[in-house]
Amino acid sequence: MLSKNILKINKIVSLLCIIFLLSSLIVISSPVETKATYDSKFKNYPGYEELLKKLQTAHPKWKFELLDTGLNWYDAIIAESTGRHGLNVVPKEDGSAWKCSCGKVVDAKWVCASTAAVAFYMDPRNSLNEDYIFQFEKLTFDNQTEEGVKTIIGDCDYLQGKIKYLDSKGEEKTINKTYSQVIMEAAKKYKVSPYHLASRIRQEQGTGSGSIMIKGTYKGYEGLYNYFNIGAFGKTNDDIITKGLKKAKNNGWTDPEKAIMGGTSILVSSYIARGQDTLYLEKFDVIEDDGYYSWQYMTNVSASKTEGEKIRQAYRNMGMITKDSEMTFKIPVYKNMPEMQAPRPGSEQIVTQDVQITADKVDVKEGKGTSYKTITTLKKNEKLLRIELDNVKDSNGKYWDKVVLKDGKKGYIMRDYLKQLSLQTNSDDKYVVIAYTNFRNGPGVTGTNIIKLLSPGQMLTVVEKDVYKSVDKEDWYRVKLADGTYGYVGTGYIEPYNANNGTIDRVEVVCTDGLNVRKEPSTNSTVLKSLNEGTILTRTEKNVKSAQTEYIWDKITTSSGIVGYVVRQDPKTKKEWIKPIAEPNTEEPKEEPKEDQKEEPKEDNNETDKTIKDTKDLKVDKNNLISKPDMTIENIKKQYKDAVIKDGNEVKTKGNIATGWTITVNNKTYTIVVKGDTNGDGQIKATDYMRIKNYIMDSSKLTDAQKSAADVNKDGQIKATDYMKIKNYIMGTSNIEI
């Protein structure tokens, strides 16, 4: 029989074993308890996961839902800015970087927002932080309190105490409720966040005493109230107020309670119930329900961000933002988002101007002022580019403007030493955009401002070439857009427009009833824009595949950058709805040979008639002449003295040959293909491998000659291996053979 001490020891050992096992289970299960509460798919979108991890660490119980909009990021930005001028606005007193170059004035206080401003506020990553995350909070009722409502409306004098108002006769009336009580009742009835209602009223009516929309005294509309400014829009203040109060009259909003309850009903049914259930989605309509971008509650581009900030402040004041707080956020994502977050626009006036130095030994400084380091010193009459006008004088009463030196470096010069010149040009060539790219006020991606975003297919005129090379690893051309705006574009994103030999053409809308541009090639797809008869478009693809075989669909780009699909002709009558614009024929007419000069027909022995002999440098492939990189006209002329080499109609006599040119030897004409030269400039540069990358990503097109030039590994396909081979060739670690 075991002693009591031994039994005790066994019990202790058993107990320790149980504790050990339990502790092991706890350790094993702990990762499950701290598992991230955000969709794993966020990792597929640049920058999201890193930002969400920071929020998740601080607030383990917060949940982040991924909303896949299905929209291309660049399409969405264009649609919200230059594609629909006035859809988003900024205060008139903002700097020019915030304002659209169209100059559209929406009303006395607001003007059309720039592409840069729209991108900054629309990029969700700029708000995935403690300050601005609440614009993504789901707007459903979730046990919010009246105390929270009072905090949000605390500086709104018109929302304090019992409800007092004026009726249609101007007599004062009282409702035995407070505004916070009515807001809570509306929230519970319609299952919406009362904090959203409170912040929305605050946003629309302001602080202090509020606007005329809630006074009940506007002439002709006495005794009417509209707290959410529903239906209030127009070109003038009177127009806005009149429409808003007409809406109140039609809905019977004859006192504040009716206006708040009725406005909440419309807000929920028109927005939240259709999927626009966050402040962000109410501001930016990226939900496919009766069309994108068309149903937006607010025009102020910053509205959702600032309203979200007010809600966060209210939560913080109530002590609701803690490590244990539970909240749900709905975060939108877009296709093809850039790696970097959209930057905040600057405050200076952005320009693109040629200027001249007016004094000897003028210093270019690293910053605004004489105390900054001198970059270089310029002589009198030297010309350079100015891209920003200073708007604040220094302590000596001087303005310092930002300029660009010939090597692309940016600096500052005192405005007293600068004289504006007329536009300096050395070119007048038509080009077409081949991939989404930013249109900037100067060369380079650093130190310049984005004026707008350009889409594949947009037409432009190059007015200055070969001035700024290898600025931020890219060559830059100065260009003029269809609306007359000047700026800079990287050469890797544009190519010469040839009306008679290219994959794109220009067309005109000839349908008298107008024509819809749709998101996809289907009449069931969202209408992006309606075009009037006479509108000029760029057609980038013909005969696009569609399930609706009765229609012929073409892919087009509008002058404002909207990319979509249109029907080419009436499916029944075959009457054209778009037609090509007649372009001048730049090809030389071929002279018909005389009878006695005609050659006898030859037997077809499946061999190409080679008037040029194959060498290690040149090779004939059907109607193409394949060349190694950096082949010069002079070298070809040594072998074929009578060869005629042309770029279009221009005869070339020296320098490198280029893809897309032609060579005629012994009355036989070939199209030149220089391996690796995909953009037809005769050189192998970063722009060439970028073009292949864009082609692989289906964001640009290549002609047959360009495809042959891009296939540098000669496997009959265009893949990443070609892209890398060109990149290695540029770095000197690989050769390109024919």
**Does 30 score more than 80 pLDDT?**
no
Span 310-351, pLDDT tens digits: 888 878 887 878 888 888 999 999 999 999 999 999 888 999
Q: Which residue has the higher pLDDT, 704 or 21?
A: 704
**Does 595 score more than 70 pLDDT?**
no
Span 90-100, pLDDT tens digits: 999 998 899 99
Residues above pLDDT 70, as percent of the chain? 90
**Does 597 score more than 50 pLDDT?**
no
| Predicted pLDDT of residue 731 | 65
d(CA 294, CA 111): 19
Residues above pLDDT 90, as percent of the chain? 61
Contacts for 439 with CB less than 8 Å, ≥ 6 apart? 450, 451, 452, 453, 454, 479, 481, 485, 487, 488, 489
| Averaged pLDDT, 653-682 | 92
Token look-up 């040119």 returns 661
505-580 fold: SH3 type barrels. (2.30.30)
CA dist 559 to 336, 368, 454, 697, Å? Answer: 22, 38, 9, 23
Specify the CATH architecture of the domain 349-420: Roll (2.30)
Residue 550's SS3 state is coil
**Does 122 score more than 60 pLDDT?**
yes
Answer yes or no: are the C-beta atoms of 613 and 670 closer than 8 Å: no
**Does 362 score more than 90 pLDDT?**
yes
Token look-up 């020891």 returns 9
Contacts for 518 with CB less than 8 Å, ≥ 6 apart? 525, 526, 527, 528, 564, 565, 566
d(CA 184, CA 263): 14
Specify the CATH architecture of the domain 611-730: Orthogonal Bundle (1.10)
* Total residue length of the chain: 738
| Predicted pLDDT of residue 610 | 56
**Does 605 score more than 50 pLDDT?**
no
pLDDT band at residue 697 using 50, 70 and 90 as cut-offs: low
| Averaged pLDDT, 180-199 | 94
Backbone φ and ψ of 19, nearest 5°:
-60, -45
Answer yes or no: are the C-beta atoms of 519 and 292 closer than 8 Å: yes
| Predicted pLDDT of residue 501 | 66
| Averaged pLDDT, 714-720 | 82
Span 515-529, pLDDT tens digits: 999 999 999 998 888
Alpha-carbon torsion angle 350, 356, 358, 359, nearest 10: 100
Q: Which of 14-28, 238-252, 286-300 has the lowest mean pLDDT?
A: 14-28
d(CA 42, CA 452): 27
| Averaged pLDDT, 128-150 | 90
**Does 295 score more than 90 pLDDT?**
no
| Predicted pLDDT of residue 592 | 37
Q: How much is the mean pLDDT over the chain?
A: 87
Residue 174's SS3 state is strand
Residue 146's SS3 state is helix
| Predicted pLDDT of residue 270 | 79
**Does 499 score more than 70 pLDDT?**
yes
CA dist 572 to 260, 511, 638, Å? Answer: 52, 14, 60
Nearest to 346 by CA among 329, 326, 368: 368
Take residue 640 and report the two structure tokens written for it.
Answer: 């074929």
Looking at the domain covering 429-489, what would its CATH class be? mainly beta
Take residue 62 and report the two structure tokens written for it.
Answer: 């917060």
Span 445-473, pLDDT tens digits: 999 999 999 999 999 999 999 999 999 98
Span 384-441, pLDDT tens digits: 999 999 988 988 999 999 999 999 999 999 999 999 999 889 999 999 999 999 999 9
How many Cβ atoms are within 10 Å of 145's Cβ, its own excluded?
Answer: 14
**Does 590 score more than 80 pLDDT?**
no
Take residue 526 and report the two structure tokens written for it.
Answer: 């969202």
| Predicted pLDDT of residue 649 | 84
| Predicted pLDDT of residue 2 | 38
d(CA 585, CA 160): 74
Fold match between domain 349-420 and domain 611-730 = no
Residue 148 belongs to what H/E stretch? helix 146-152
For 553-583, letters b (16+ CB in 10 Å) and e give bbbbbbbbbbbbbbbbbeeeeeeebbeeeee
pLDDT band at residue 555 using 50, 70 and 90 as cut-offs: very high
Contacts for 680 with CB less than 8 Å, ≥ 6 apart? 495, 496, 658, 659, 660, 661, 705, 706
Alpha-carbon torsion angle 21, 24, 26, 31, nearest 10: -160
How many Cβ atoms are within 10 Å of 434's Cβ, its own excluded?
Answer: 26
| Residue extents of the structural domains in the chain | 60-138+282-345, 142-277, 349-420, 429-489, 505-580, 611-730
Please write down the HEC assignment for all residues of 644-689: EEEECCEEECCCECCCCCEEEECCEEEEEEECCCCCCCCCCCHHHH
Span 332-341, pLDDT tens digits: 999 999 999 9
| Averaged pLDDT, 209-233 | 94
d(CA 345, CA 410): 17
